[in-house]
Amino acid sequence: MWRILIYFLVNNKKCAVGLLLMLLANSTLQAQTDVDSLVVNAVNRIVTSYPKATLQDIYKSFFQERFGPGHIIPNEESAKQYLKKEIAQWRDVCPMTYEPTGLNGDYVRVGLGYVVKGLVPLDIFIDAFVRSANMAQGISLSQWAQEWQHVTNVIDSMNIVLENYAVDKSRIDTLLSSGGYVMHHSQSYRDFYNPHYRIIKKEIFEKEIFPYINKSIDINHN
């Protein structure tokens, strides 16, 4: 049967080209479907964990996966002093949580509560954060704008209710069209969830930070 099929394709070039184009189209469609599923899963994860999250907060999660903290950190000592100041001011509300960002979780949000409670040493945490920030590659603004447009297209198809959705969508579009891309958490998110965390590259988190967290979990269970 395979010999007959190969003979048919070799001697019918138009049919062979058509079949190849069909296979490529199906492959592209499957890849797009896979991306859409990842977007749906990521958005559902965010709004389930944080019911007060807005489109602005969803944007921030997807942005952080692509760009990490969003800037290079040339001075580790200044980053350390800033973090210590933040901990001193918000010590009682710093979360002990970690969660993936965006589609694939290439970066992880790690709550400062782990440092506050002494579960992760400050120097280890700062070093992981600074290296993660300086590893960020990012993409061009035009590429990011296209990616975000696709994300919003998928969100539109999900029929979920997000507070101030139209306003946030317009503000984000305006930000991107003006050459900007960095956005803070929404006021409602800050009021309800006290987002005091740092962004750490997934492989660094798993190798250098999570063992400390896991060790504390094991101790509490024993």
In this predicted structure, the answer to whether residue 112 has a pLDDT above a threshold of 70 is yes
- Contacts of range 163-171, beta carbons closer than 8 Å, 24 or more positions apart: 163/52, 163/54, 163/188, 164/54, 164/55, 165/54, 165/55, 168/54, 168/55, 168/56, 168/59, 169/55, 171/56
Task: Judge whether residue 21 has pLDDT over 50.
Answer: no
| Mean pLDDT for all residues in the chain | 86
Instruction: Write the pLDDT tens digit of every residue in 35-76.
Output: 899 999 999 999 999 999 999 999 999 999 999 987 778 788
Predicted TM-score (pTM) of the model is 0.82
In this prediction, residue 138 has a pLDDT band, given cuts at 50, 70 and 90, of: confident
Mean pLDDT in residue range 131-152: 93
